Amino acid sequence: MAKVTAITEQLRSNQGRHSAAVGAMLILTFGLLKSVSAVPQPATANPPATLKDTGLYTDFGTLLVDPAHLTFAPQYPLWSDGATKRRWISLPPGKVIDGSDPEVWIFPVGTRFWKEFSFNGQRVETRYLERRADGSWLYAAYAWSPDGREAHLVPVRGKRGAYPLAGGRSHTIPGMTDCKACHQGGASEILGFSTLQLSSEPDPGSLHAELRPDPGVDLKYLVDRGLLVGLPKTLLETPPRVAAATATERAALGYMHGNCGHCHNDQGSLRNIGLFLRQGVKDAGQPAIDSTVNHPVKKPAPGQSPDAVLRVEPEHPERSGIMQRVGSRYPALQMPPLGTELVDDEAVALLYRWISETAPLRKEAHIEQKGR
Amino acid sequence: MRLALPLMLTIALLVPSIAPAQDTTSAQVKRGEYLVTVGGCHDCHTPWIIGSGGPEPDMKRALSGHPQDITITAPATVSPPWGGAMTPSSTGWSGPWGVSFSANLTPDPETGVLRDFTEQQFIQTMRTGRHQGQGRQILPPMPWPNYGQMTDDDLKAVFAYLRQIPPVKNKVPDPIPPKR
């Protein structure tokens, strides 16, 4: 668009009118002929057969994690049936992350991520991502043996019954297509290691937030050690935060960023739904409010109550489409559609509170803003 | 008048590419029709009737899914060794997953399941077995793992074909969960 705008300006000037006109038409013509949307492709490389072979531990017998890896925690974690998580990143020696685009960090080839899932103190699975030489990410999940001594690669279709949960349900280790359904749903495949998630001023009201483990990896830590380069200075001087009228709203929007925004954003394949729950760090405004509050449900899901005509109906959480979907685990209705077997009751309570309070608080916020 | 030359140049560039584009589209639709036929899409997505020669797909309702006037309220009750059942229309299927109804694949703007799908989402749906590629699971017996092996070009051809078949207004019912 910038190119078209610039050419339009040039067309208005007296000089270079002909060449500009020809150039504009040619660019538009070729642009039209070449506009093809990208389709994510399946990875072809084979991951290691065991977790041990991925290099997470220096001593697998004692499960001593390589001290060169950095442990971290995002401020708005993904909820996975209440699993306790630990996460690590490994950068190749001498390589750094390019943060020039704070919305899409570029990780060097050879970057590795691990995320360990435990229930009641028992390790159940560890997920693994590795940046390949061709720029793609390798996906793998490893299931721990019941005695916690081994962790083997899970088949590409995943593994059901990995750990018993409440109500006769059980944790499912997702298959590769499900992993990619979330991780390839936006501009960046890395979801929990980003500008907002590692803000140096995390949200004190974030739901399910974990204490940042030592050494306290955040934006400042990464920049100070030269591991993250190119990040705009303003994001260090004014750490990014979710724009919200109240603390409750900040936590609610942050929760939806971490649990919904990887699919519901303005960059990925589902952008035509018009539900933008990912929080950007560059944009003004609040698309998550604009695309939910008083916004009609586009197409009711199977099992959705007919009185839920709005995604968020202020002061009426019981009639809000978002509440019905987050509060259900009927497969055709539930949100998120994968990755959980149980309803996140604390999230339901948070979103209920936010919607209940939304109308009066937002009016006050608007009045306050106008008065300035 | 000063823009006449660049306009003519642009048109000259576009015109030769428009005609082949139409041919390409037509060939793509024909390819899609072929794939839909040999891929067995009519087996479930077109209601079956008893014709003069026995059961056959009712092509007047081609690919319009489970008829909205065939009401089903609960999964079938079957005894071992049977594990499931289907309606005579071949559009309603009962099994351990509950009851699934084949979708209306026609471009009807009110009831066609693909009305909000982009081409990319259609491809991803076949690859992942999830609605619009990322949403709810598509239920059995839809053989998406097979169709997910098709090339992008083949899936694009199927999508192109489905977007131009005659629309049929038919609101397919929601699936029924399994008995607990």
pLDDT tens, position by position, A163-177: 999 999 999 999 999
**β-bridge mates for residue A114, sequence order:** A88, A128
User: Which residues of chain A are within 8 Å of residue B13 when distances are taken between CB atoms?
Assistant: 26, 29
pLDDT at A10: 38
Which one of A29, A263, A299 has the shortest CB-CB distance to B134? A263
Amino acid at A180: K
| Complex prediction ipTM | 0.76
- B175 domain-assigned: no
**Best of A269, A304, A335 to mutate (most B CBs within 10 Å, chain B):** A269
Query: Tell me, what's the pLDDT at A4?
Result: 33
CA distance A54 to chain B (A): 26
What's the pLDDT score for residue A362? 54
* Residue B30 domain boundaries: 22-162
pLDDT band at B122 (very low <50, low <70, confident <90, very high): very high
Predicted pLDDT of residue A240: 97
Task: Write out pLDDT tens, residues A13-68.
Answer: 333 334 333 333 333 333 333 333 334 444 447 999 999 999 999 999 999 999 99
How many domains are there within chain B?
Answer: 1
| B134 vs A17, A181, A333: nearest CB | A181
CB-based contact A22 B9, cutoff 8 Å? yes
| B119 interfaces chain A, CB cutoff of 8 Å | yes
- Give per-residue pLDDT as tens, B54-102: 999 999 999 999 999 999 999 999 999 999 999 999 999 999 999 999 9
To probe the interface with B, which of A13, A28, A29 has the most B CB atoms within 10 Å?
A: A29
**Residue ranges in chain A modelled with pLDDT below 70:** 1-44, 360-372
Mean pLDDT of B99-120: 96
Establish if B170 belongs to a structural domain.
no
- In this predicted structure, what is the pLDDT of residue A3? 36
Asked whether residue B47 is domain-assigned, the answer is: yes
Q: What is the average per-residue pLDDT within B107-129?
A: 95
Structural domain contains residue B7? no
How do residues B4-40 score in pLDDT, each as one tens digit?
A: 555 555 555 555 555 556 677 899 999 999 999 999 9
For position B24, what pLDDT does the model report? 75
Residue B174 domain-assigned (yes or no): no
B4-36: burial string, b at 16+ Cβ within 10 Å, e else: eebeeebeeeeeeeeeeeeeeeeebbebbbebb
Residue B42, in any domain of the structure:
yes
The answer to the question of residue B4 being in a domain is no
Q: Is it true that the peptide bond before B81 is cis, omega within 30 degrees of 0? A: yes
| Average pLDDT of chain B, as a whole number | 91
Rounded CA-CA distance A148/A320 in Å is: 43
Give the tokens for residue A323: 């509440």
Does the distance separating the beta carbons of B3 and A26 come in below 8 Å? Answer: no
A273: closest chain B residue by CA: B116
User: Looking at the domain assignment, is residue B179 inside a domain?
Assistant: no
Bridge partners (DSSP) of residue B57 are B48
